[in-house]
Amino acid sequence: MNIVAFGASNSKQSINQKLATFVAGEIENHQVRILDLNDFEMPIYSVERQADGFPAQAQAFLDEINAADGIIISLAEHNLNFNTAFKNILDWVSRINMTFLEGKKMLVLSTSPGGFGGGNVMEVGLKYFGFAKGEVVASYSLPSFQNNFQEGVIVNEEIQAIVAEKLATFVQALETADAAN
């Protein structure tokens, strides 16, 4: 099975990219591709720009999603919402195909420096991903990133166990769907 993973941020030091990459690295026996949102930078969406055609980056992102059986995403929270770069990608891609997540199993994560771990953007994401017909099979907001994630790994054993359980649920859902096909 093919899985794509990414942090929904364009920051070069994104803690959400670090989390998504770590979690994806825990998967065995499946092909995982790590995406960087900076590879999909494009003009800010508008109806007028759409009339001129879709940026190649929008189609390239959609192609990555279409090739995947599952998606691991870690949402960055900016003012209680999606990172602007990620929202712009969603705006373009959804105009190509409104239900672009249909048939995709998803593990949705978030993290932040604070104790709520990006919980506000998690609420936004879960609603949006359902609208785009994605199937969120597990989700988790990791609190206090700097305290709980160090040197590329989750150092809090309780949190690591929770994340491992969420990842196992995600992988099991993918394998069950694959076996049914």
Domains with residue ranges and CATH for the chain: 2-180 (3.40.50.360)
Is the pLDDT at 108 greater than 90, yes or no?
yes
- What average pLDDT does the segment 9-25 reach? 98
Position 42 scores a pLDDT of: 97
Is the pLDDT at 181 greater than 90, yes or no?
no
Other C-beta atoms closer than 10 Å to the C-beta of 110 total 30
Whole-model pTM: value is 0.97
Contact 74, 140 (CB under 8 A): no
Exposure b/e, 43-72, CB count within 10 A at least 16 = b: eebeeeeeeeebbebbeebbebbeebbbbb
Position 41 scores a pLDDT of: 97
**pLDDT tens figures, 24-72:** 999 999 999 999 999 999 999 999 999 999 999 999 999 999 999 999 9
Q: At 7, is the pLDDT very low, low, confident or very high (cuts 50, 70, 90)?
A: very high
Is the pLDDT at 154 greater than 90, yes or no?
yes
Q: In whole numbers, what is the pLDDT of the chain averaged over residues?
A: 97
Query: In one letter, which amino acid is 107?
Result: L
